[in-house]
Structure 1
Amino acid sequence: MTITSKSPRRWTLDFLKTEAASGAILGLAALAALVVANSPWADTYFHVLKGEQTLQLGPIHLEMSVSEWIKEGLMALFFLVVGLEIKYEILRGELSDPRKLVTPVMAALGGMIAPGIVYLIVAGWLSGPHQGWPIPLATDIAFALAVFAMVGKGLPSSLRVFLLTLAIVDDLGAIALIAILFSDGVSWMPIALAVALLVVGAAWSKQRAIPAPFWILGFGLVWWLSVVGGLSTSLIAVAFAVIVPISPRGPECQSPLREAMHDLHPYVAYCVLPIFAFAKAGVSFAGVTTEQMLAPLVIGIAAGLFIGKQLGVFGFAWLATRMGWGARPSDATWSQLYGVALLCGVGFTMSLFIGALAFPGAIDSPEQIEVKLGVLGGSLLSAVVGAVVLAIARRGALDDVDAEDQK
């Protein structure tokens, strides 16, 4: 597919059109999952997600549940597109200014430190379990971006890039934390082979143009090796995005990176993310008591996500700019940045995943029910308040522009 040349800013704005249009679909998919999970069809819903599915291609054999195929398979495409966009922004767009790259990285660091501290303070005060501190550290990229897409019309595109970069760094930190605290061991031989393939692909792409089928085959191979090796496919997908060339290649002088973003993004936005939302947002509230809703674990997680995230993200972003290490996103106000900081408290699926590792047991165990309540409560509160703050900040910015135009 031929892509005409555009300025970096125009390219980013065009890229966001699909994101904005898909936000409502993602929200409806999540709502549908909650309805189904608490309806007479709940047993069928959970049975299908737990059902094992096998992939057999010659010597390649993989067996995972439907839920795992969605998380490790389909979502790898999402992280590939995210990685491609981050690389584009670093080399050609908003993040090409190093000071604007430092700010979201610093904010991500604060967004991992403060929630853990808030959780431990609340857990100590209410005599709750201390091992739940990693749960509110994560940000759910897909749902945070979906909320931003629904309220972000008229806001600077740099805010979405800031959120995207912050969430990627946050997610990589969460993956590292999982590997350190909860990993049962990684098989290093498949991982070494995947790294070798990435190195060969990077070197080859610098010498000559690589046809699209080889890129697809290469991604499939490193993805399979990461699954076999026990490494998160989100990490390997971002690593693969790094080696995709951004400079024009081939007889048509097209950028493989921009072409891949252009071709993959609609499928990710309208297919991958809604399926992911429908599979992961279905939480049953059957049998939940008032006592469980007010349990120390619930309050600690919710406080970590809603209070800790906004304090850490906004505080460290302000510190980075105050100290001169970083810069505020282009054309964005502090109130708009605060709204984005609130959206970072949408932990949802990643927090639920960490919760399952921190409190191993049956899906309907008391601890797991409390983890779900805390994550849902903190994530929903962060999403609603963040959306309201962004809407107010956007309205204020538009009023300022109108006032300037009337002068």
Structure 2
Amino acid sequence: MSNSQDSDNVLPAAPAKVIKTLVAPVRALFVGDASAGVLLILVAAAALIVANSPLAEQYYELFHDALYPAASFKLNTWHLWINDGLMAIFFFVVGLEVKREMIEGQLSTAEQRRLPGLAAVAGMAMPAVIFVLIVGGKSQVLHGWAIPAATDIAFAMGVMGLLGNRVPASLRLFLLTVAIVDDIGAVLIIAVFYTANLQGLWLVFAALVVGVMIALNRMKVSSMPAYIALSLVLWYCVLHSGVHATIAGVAAALTIPMYSKDGKSILGRMEHALAPWSAYLIVPVFGFANAGVHMGGLGWEGVFAPLPLAIGAGLFFGKQLGIFSCIAVADRIGFAPRPKNASWPEIWGVSILCGIGFTMSLFIGELAFPGAGKLAMEHREEAKIGILGGSILSATLGYIVLRLTTQHSEEDEQDEGDSTASA
């Protein structure tokens, strides 16, 4: 009787375990860290399909046809509104996240900033070096040197999210902090190297608005409508100043106070309210508007031209080489220890994931080759090929390396339980 009862208890659990095993990877796609990254993958795939379908012309016209004369307002296409308008909100959220991390988060002390900061700098410098080495003296494409320097937080964290708890928490935190410092570097690059035709009067107006926002911060003013209204004014001033309008998002975010007089987190409330809109609407819309590239017009010569090769190699080889070697040297000389509980193969896998440059790389690519001329358009298309190629390779190999070199904690507990039961 007891054997019969035991079998009754055990047999139903087997199908349940099988179903759970089969469903787990699918569920992982749409929960936690993975969801935003998977959405970006789907959006990029959709953009490529549409751009190479009979709807290609309509796709281009949707985003690039003028909505009204440019004399009325300089953002006269959906593409400009997305890149200069919506993306300012994305940069605002980035600025909020950076400020929170710098004040009371994972970048709040010199010790915490040491390794991620060094790794991020090396991870931006090495791709740029590889880019320059490949394109050589082709001055017309050298302007795109910063394209492979950026890491896409959502995409990289999404791929890591697919692995569940297999990856040590310390490595998740390391990837996030490297990507945040990377974003700071990308913002500085945009502000310094992709700014032209400065308009002094508009810059003065922008500085005055920032001054007012800082004064409100000092006085502990907690009115979110006031900060939002001033942020919009700042964006308008920066838009006309010659500095890219998205920099206004970061500048405005840095003036938002952490706490009000009654101790409530103003910055936290803003970040919590805007982060989902940024991750699940703004970034996907930007990706769909910018990732579509018509492959038929490029041919094999365009796909393997110096520009896409330099970008792809910079993302795939440059990122992992710069970050991994930096961590190894810092750990060896005692400057900063490697992430806790992480093996060197796991660190290599995360270093590879940092080569996913989708959102920020696409954004810099648009800035690097502006204009409606044929050559500029060809360079933008080639840049997209390099970004997508390097990002896909980095995502695929990074996932494989981490999958093969990490051990799921739940599986460990399951194994221990099975061993105890059998004993």
- TM-score surpassing 0.5? yes
Matched letter for residue 230 of structure 1? G
Matched letter for residue 104 of structure 1? P
Distance in 1 (alpha carbons) for counterparts of 2:326 and 2:333? 10
Distance in 1 (alpha carbons) for counterparts of 2:301 and 2:388? 16
The CA deviation string for residues 165-222 of structure 1, in whole angstroms up to 9 with x for no partner, is 4334434444544555554322233233323322332232232333121121021111
Matched letter for residue 258 of structure 1? G
Mean CA deviation greater in 147-156 or 69-78? 147-156
Match of 2:310 among 300, 312, 329: 300
Judged with a 3 Å threshold, the aligned counterparts in structure 2 of structure 1 residues 239 and 337 are, in CA distance, closer, same or farther, namely farther
Do structure 1's residue 313 and structure 2's residue 323 form an aligned pair? yes
Q: Say which structure, 1 or 2, has more relative contact order (CA 8 Å, 6+ apart).
A: 1
Judged with a 3 Å threshold, the aligned counterparts in structure 2 of structure 1 residues 356 and 219 are, in CA distance, closer, same or farther, namely closer
- TM norm structure 2: 0.77
Offset of 1:120 from its aligned partner? 3.7
Alignment partner, residue 40 of structure 2: 26
Offset of 1:335 from its aligned partner? 3.9
Secondary structure at the residue paired with 2:76? strand
- Report the number of matched residues: 387
Distance in 2 (alpha carbons) for counterparts of 1:324 and 1:236? 39
Judged with a 3 Å threshold, the aligned counterparts in structure 2 of structure 1 residues 82 and 125 are, in CA distance, closer, same or farther, namely closer
Q: Contact (CA 8 Å) 1:343, 1:383: kept in 2 or not? A: yes
Structure label with greater radius of gyration: 2
Do structure 1's residue 72 and structure 2's residue 84 form an aligned pair? yes
Distance in 2 (alpha carbons) for counterparts of 1:388 and 1:233? 39
Alignment partner, residue 56 of structure 2: 42
Distance in 1 (alpha carbons) for counterparts of 2:88 and 2:397? 30
Distance in 2 (alpha carbons) for counterparts of 1:161 and 1:220? 33
Secondary structure at the residue paired with 2:240? helix
Match of 1:197 among 189, 209, 221: 209
Alignment partner, residue 385 of structure 1: 397
Q: Contact (CA 8 Å) 2:37, 2:154: kept in 1 or not? A: no
Task: Flag structure 2 segments of 5+ consecutive residues without an equivalent.
Answer: 1-29
RMSD: 3.6
- TM norm structure 1: 0.80
Offset of 1:244 from its aligned partner? 1.6
Judged with a 3 Å threshold, the aligned counterparts in structure 2 of structure 1 residues 110 and 55 are, in CA distance, closer, same or farther, namely farther
Task: Flag structure 1 segments of 5+ consecutive residues without an equivalent.
Answer: 1-15
Offset of 1:71 from its aligned partner? 1.7
Judged with a 3 Å threshold, the aligned counterparts in structure 2 of structure 1 residues 212 and 378 are, in CA distance, closer, same or farther, namely same
Judged with a 3 Å threshold, the aligned counterparts in structure 2 of structure 1 residues 28 and 376 are, in CA distance, closer, same or farther, namely closer
Alignment of 1:158-177 (within 5 A): 159-177=171-189
Judged with a 3 Å threshold, the aligned counterparts in structure 2 of structure 1 residues 103 and 402 are, in CA distance, closer, same or farther, namely farther
Mean CA deviation greater in 32-41 or 96-105? 96-105
Secondary structure at the residue paired with 1:196? helix
Offset of 1:377 from its aligned partner? 1.5
Match of 1:273 among 250, 259, 283: 283
Matched letter for residue 275 of structure 1? V
Judged with a 3 Å threshold, the aligned counterparts in structure 2 of structure 1 residues 221 and 141 are, in CA distance, closer, same or farther, namely farther
Distance in 2 (alpha carbons) for counterparts of 1:180 and 1:120? 19
Distance in 2 (alpha carbons) for counterparts of 1:188 and 1:329? 46
Distance in 1 (alpha carbons) for counterparts of 2:410 and 2:328? 23
